[in-house]
């Protein structure tokens, strides 16, 4: 039996698992004053072997940098780094838009070990 190809616009399970989504803990955050759009610089610890990675996130509508430290977030860790001005974003922190289109972060609802991969 052969596996049917997904319809156009859809992906298969194998494609989904190419995206490496892991949980990390924000260890530092600061305003990204140089960004064109209001943003926050994040340093997220994914444990070993990934360690601490940097990200820029447009999350200023709902989050204050000081309140983000200690928060667990989900992030794509296998996209190539992206240069944003003088800052290099190494991971893509995940969020979903609220009713006004402002980003709300995605994370586990219970504390989990850093580096855990989304299943």
Interval 91-106: pLDDT, tens: 999 999 999 999 999 9
**Predicted local confidence at residue 1, as pLDDT:** 45
Residue 38 domain flag: yes
Q: What is the pLDDT of residue 35?
A: 87
Q: Could you tell me where the beta strands, DSSP code E, fall in the chain?
A: 21-31, 40-45, 52-57, 72-76, 82-84, 87-89, 92-93, 95-97, 103-105
CATH code assigned at 89: 2.40.50.140
| CA 28 to chain centroid | 14
Residue 13 within a domain: no
- φ, ψ dihedrals at 31, nearest 5°: -60, 145
For residue 9, how far is the Cα from the chain centroid? Answer: 23
Residue 8 lies in a domain: no
Domain span at 89: 18-105
Count up the domains in the chain and report the number. Answer: 1
For residue 5, tell me if it sits in a domain: no
Asked, for residue 41, whether it belongs to a domain, the answer is: yes
Segments of the chain with pLDDT less than 50: 1
């Amino acid at each position: 039996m052969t596996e049917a190809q997904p319809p156009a616009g859809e992906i298969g399970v194998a494609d989904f698992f190419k995206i490496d989504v892991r949980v990390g803990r924000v260890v530092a955050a600061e305003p990204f004053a140089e960004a064109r759009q209001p943003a926050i610089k994040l340093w997220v610890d994914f444990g070993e072997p990934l360690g601490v990675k940097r990200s820029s996130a447009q999350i200023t509508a709902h989050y204050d940098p000081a309140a983000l430290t200690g928060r667990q977030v989900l992030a794509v860790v296998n996209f190539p780094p992206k240069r944003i001005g003088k800052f290099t974003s190494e991971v893509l922190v995940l969020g979903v838009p609220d009713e006004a289109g402002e980003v709300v972060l995605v994370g586990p609802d219970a504390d989990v070990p850093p580096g855990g991969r989304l299943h």
